[in-house]
Amino acid sequence: MSIHKKGWKEDPSNYGPASLTLVPGKVMEQIILSAFTQHTQDNQRIRLSQHGYKTDRSCLTNLIYFCDQMTCLVDEGKTVNVVYLNSSKIFDTISHGIVLEKLAACGLDRCTLHLVKNWLDV
């Protein structure tokens, strides 16, 4: 869904995204993300090459790193093959019980696990 922001209504670039997520859901996502990020950083559960769930990295830093690596390989005359995977619907297709078991095995506390369970069940 998009909302008209400015200019001519016929121009698609004058529209912006509209969030359909309720405020309590957004707050819950931020609480879970914060707890998960803190836990993974404190317990060094994420490799240095990981860009998601890290406070000092993002999709943009990941893209910059990727482009730099691919450019270096091409400059060296090497062949580069890339496979793109879309995991945006991953939580719609996997068992929420398995996700919770894996998070518990990583040492997430009961309170955070309860929040994640409620978030997954929404």
d(CA 88, CA 92): 9
Model confidence, pTM: 0.40
d(CA 80, CA 95): 35
42-96 pLDDT, tens per residue? 776 667 677 766 777 887 888 888 899 999 999 999 988 887 766 666 667 778 8
